[in-house]
Structure 1
């Protein structure tokens, strides 16, 4: 056999392979064309009918819906330096108050636990959950442990979460996400937001192909899927389940809502909920205020509407091997495990989308081989173009009408495919990324092909797709916020030279149960109230201002709602530079600050004042308790020579420092944990005539006996001026304080 014979056999085989590939590519392209046509025709029809007679619904209407308790679930295995930042960012940026974050960790992952502990110390609504079994288990197993902890928290705080939100450790959450979930609950049982990966360098095709795929999938494909069949696959992040859905999943799973053997438990849940007749929705909701889309792309060529969609943002793998590993896990979970679990349904429309989910096993191979064939045909064309008296190898293709027809149709549909992808990438990322999506598709085909190979090898090796182990992807978290946990109070006081290491250790050792470090230092007279206020202000990066709560202007106080003053423990001081100025004894969270500004429809600024000043000011101005003002008695003692001005100042500081709110008393008595108290404060109606203690008893959070015990503790801590004077004189005379 000579070279010409080999070339002939090669060309004959190449022609037949090309015919088969062209037929398969045409079949898959027509499948995609149907989705394209349905999307654009539906969009046109809704634009002419539905949206024409409907008023514009913007984010301002989300604020009028009362906040329901929501729980955010985050599974974490070896997420040091990742999940802590994510939880802190969420607690700092979310434009919502009534939520708790539960982070699932493992007993054999102390580094991640330490990371979470640092965040929990500052934010009372973040909780660390330690799974029963050492890691790594599956993501589903971790989530089951988290849900158990959430239900236990419900029993302790006597609340019921309306929604359970699923996120990963590396997610950057939109500030309006929870408000959108709150608006749709409980009418919807599964709510899915779009996911938009962060764009990296223009030459980073591996991570870039993710943003191409997600832009088209969550901009068009899932929209069509929901419209046709009413079923939405969860993306595993940015998914909210209703309480009804979680309880039904727990009931059917014998207490385990998530399938611990599934690598894509989120995908699985969407089908189970649909089978039970529950409502699912994929939401593309855009905000008009750019400040509420702080982490969106800022390219000028992006869509002003779709570019501000409420979504989840995260970084995706940047190396070939990590991308293949992640996608092979998706293929195993969706295709192999999905088929073994669900097979086909009785609904032909749902079966169509099941087919689209599973066709990747074939289409990834076809696309990869088509690329290889295309390269060979290109090289043959290049040879004929550049060589004189060359053999016309391509004539065997051009002489076949079937080949020419298939090539023409596929070329048109391929161009359509590129245009469609560019349209949806441009909407969120701009024209630059849209143009890059064309070459990235070829690289994406290679990644998908090798991910397919790896998935098949794993399934064959195990013999059962449900036995394939959880292959976790390493995550990274972007630097997206200037806020940080900052230094601890003890570290600040040490740095300022106010206390020594020995004094700090002494305060920690002699701190009462539930007492904050600053309160302990004041009680032990290691620091002054002014020093504490300055340290807290430094920690929060705000101004420190020492105030006299009894000599404030009455107008700002009268104009400021009492319920806001007591709910957030703030005292209005007046207007400065167009801002309402508030005094607070500790840091005011960004979430609380945003809530106050929305309710007042005006910007606010706060300063940190000395301990007790706000507590006494609230009683004096809003409860008209004139007896809480010590100035008259102190002046009398100074006038008759009982004490000096210096001693009066000391007594005043002690009197201010010993003020204790009921919530603080509950903490010191260890009767309610900080997270429960935080949740109680969110649910308590400060406009009602019911006192907080009575509310706690009514909600069965504490008993009458416990309330009485707590009030005694509060009164014991809040010593009267006469008691402080007696103790002061006894100490001055060298007598033991009774």
Structure 2
């Protein structure tokens, strides 16, 4: 019994040392971003911009093409199309919706949302679904090119959206104006609270708010590559054409990499790698609302793990393989941050394993065990720093969530931290297993997120997601 107790304490010491070291390294990384953001805030460079009502509905300087890939999205695509057409007052854009012949429900819903509006073009993929989102986007890009040849005009911008998005009325004018001076612009994404899922769906609000109010603001200021979120992002026609030419030289059908699980992220990085300029923009309208895309994120644990596993697999594992590493210091730092997901999963798993070990040791001591291994002063100091950094992270998480969603959501953000950690652990494991499968010759498996509710309905007082 005494030997088992010593062995358990030895495991405790090793886990403490491993977890504390990597936790502090990650904390130093995060605090570096925090300090950069604080400096930008103090100098006024991190403040949200403002647009006037006239700017929100201003005509576009050039035609815009909006691409939406849709497979089995009958529950949401009609709401997305109908809402976009109602709030975007401009006439000089074409909304391309990619569907499949073996998905008649989605086709019918998209047609219902479009009505007789000539600004919508529904494109039926020649292949049966499901393929991949990137493959469908390449089909839409081909339709875009056909229209340019047929009608003799050229689009100025290419904007990406998902089937479940609730767009902001000022989005197109903001993107169009920004693309007069840069090649790629990303606007924020705002996960909408779901009363039926305050824990799983709610943790997306916490993470996206902190990322899109701080991390990407710092990234933009440092001049590093801005990853595309796949929604609310616009590319100049020239940069998309250049990437498409490069893909075709490599044997691809278009600008989107069908073999990559996060083709949107990769596209944003490629803009920077190709010498293009990028911007992340935070602006608010006359009501103080953020010009951002609103959407419901997964409300079930299984769906959230599957989605985040795809992100980790695509960004961390495939990103390393496909994009390599940048030679620029700022971009190298940001790439390391993007790809730390698998390591974070391991460190978090060790941290929660420590909780179990500490519980077993506490039980043994309550039952009369007296033997204890001494904790070194260095480890004690590391644990103190870990506690202080955790307190700081909690303050930051509360502050950003409370600012955007209110005090109650800010308090919930603190309680959701263990939920977010559990999802990260499970997603990291799933991503690693998927990556190992591809190394053994298996095909990259696309696991699509299912959508059954739309924020437009909640905004209109309709049904909430379940």
- What's the TM-score once normalised by structure 2's chain length? 0.91
> 1:480 deviation in Å?
2.1
What residue is the counterpart of 1:30 in the other structure?
28
> 1:369 deviation in Å?
1.8
Cα separation, 2, equivalents of 1:316 and 1:18: 34
What residue is the counterpart of 1:90 in the other structure?
84
> 1:56 deviation in Å?
6.8
Alignment map for 1:398-477 (pairs within 5 Å): 399-463=375-439, 467-477=443-453
Alignment map for 1:186-335 (pairs within 5 Å): 186-201=180-195, 204-254=198-248, 256-289=254-287, 305=288, 308-335=289-316
CA contact 2:138–2:254 (8 Å) conserved in 1: yes
What residue is the counterpart of 1:344 in the other structure?
325
Alignment map for 1:150-165 (pairs within 5 Å): 150-165=144-159
What residue is the counterpart of 1:184 in the other structure?
178
Cα separation, 2, equivalents of 1:312 and 1:261: 26
> 1:203 deviation in Å?
5.8
CA contact 2:100–2:124 (8 Å) conserved in 1: yes
Cα separation, 2, equivalents of 1:465 and 1:216: 37
CA contact 2:57–2:89 (8 Å) conserved in 1: no
Q: Which has the higher contact order (CA 8 A, sep 6+)?
A: 2
Give the secondary-structure state (helix, strand or coil) at the position aligned to 1:96: coil
- Alpha carbons of 1:468 and 1:482: their partners in 2 closer, same or farther (altered >3 Å)? closer
- Alpha carbons of 1:438 and 1:445: their partners in 2 closer, same or farther (altered >3 Å)? same
- Gaps spanning 5+ residues in structure 1: where? 290-304, 485-738
Cα separation, 2, equivalents of 1:55 and 1:463: 46
Give the secondary-structure state (helix, strand or coil) at the position aligned to 2:229: coil
> 1:205 deviation in Å?
1.2
> 1:158 deviation in Å?
2.8
What residue is the counterpart of 2:38 in the other structure?
40
Cα separation, 1, equivalents of 2:444 and 2:238: 31
1:478-532 CA-partner distances (Å, limit 9, x unpaired)? 2525999xxxxxxxxxxxxxxxxxxxxxxxxxxxxxxxxxxxxxxxxxxxxxxxx
Give the secondary-structure state (helix, strand or coil) at the position aligned to 2:419: helix
What residue is the counterpart of 2:464 in the other structure?
none
> 1:401 deviation in Å?
1.2
> 1:448 deviation in Å?
1.1
Cα separation, 2, equivalents of 1:364 and 1:404: 24
Cα separation, 2, equivalents of 1:286 and 1:465: 48
Give the secondary-structure state (helix, strand or coil) at the position aligned to 2:451: coil
> 1:403 deviation in Å?
2.2
- What's the TM-score once normalised by structure 1's chain length? 0.59
- Alpha carbons of 1:341 and 1:29: their partners in 2 closer, same or farther (altered >3 Å)? same
> 1:131 deviation in Å?
1.2
* Number of corresponding residues: 456
- Alpha carbons of 1:477 and 1:431: their partners in 2 closer, same or farther (altered >3 Å)? same
- Alpha carbons of 1:209 and 1:64: their partners in 2 closer, same or farther (altered >3 Å)? closer
- Alpha carbons of 1:423 and 1:470: their partners in 2 closer, same or farther (altered >3 Å)? same
Cα separation, 2, equivalents of 1:214 and 1:317: 13
Q: Which has the larger radius of gyration?
A: 1
What residue is the counterpart of 1:113 in the other structure?
107
Cα separation, 2, equivalents of 1:466 and 1:358: 22
CA contact 1:85–1:477 (8 Å) conserved in 2: no
Cα separation, 2, equivalents of 1:378 and 1:60: 61
> 1:123 deviation in Å?
1.8
Q: CA RMSD in A?
A: 2.5
Matched, 1:361 2:355: no
Cα separation, 1, equivalents of 2:33 and 2:96: 38
Matched, 1:372 2:377: no
- Gaps spanning 5+ residues in structure 2: where? 461-466
What residue is the counterpart of 1:618 in the other structure?
none
Bigger mean CA deviation after superposition, 223-232 or 194-203:
194-203
1:381-417 CA-partner distances (Å, limit 9, x unpaired)? 5876xx5x84457x535x5312211111000000111
Alignment map for 1:288-687 (pairs within 5 Å): 288-289=286-287, 305=288, 308-377=289-358, 380=361, 387=366, 390-391=368-369, 396=373, 399-463=375-439, 467-478=443-454, 480=456
1:266-324 CA-partner distances (Å, limit 9, x unpaired)? 111112111121111001001122xxxxxxxxxxxxxxx5xx21101111111111111
Bigger mean CA deviation after superposition, 246-255 or 423-432:
246-255
1:526-555 CA-partner distances (Å, limit 9, x unpaired)? xxxxxxxxxxxxxxxxxxxxxxxxxxxxxx
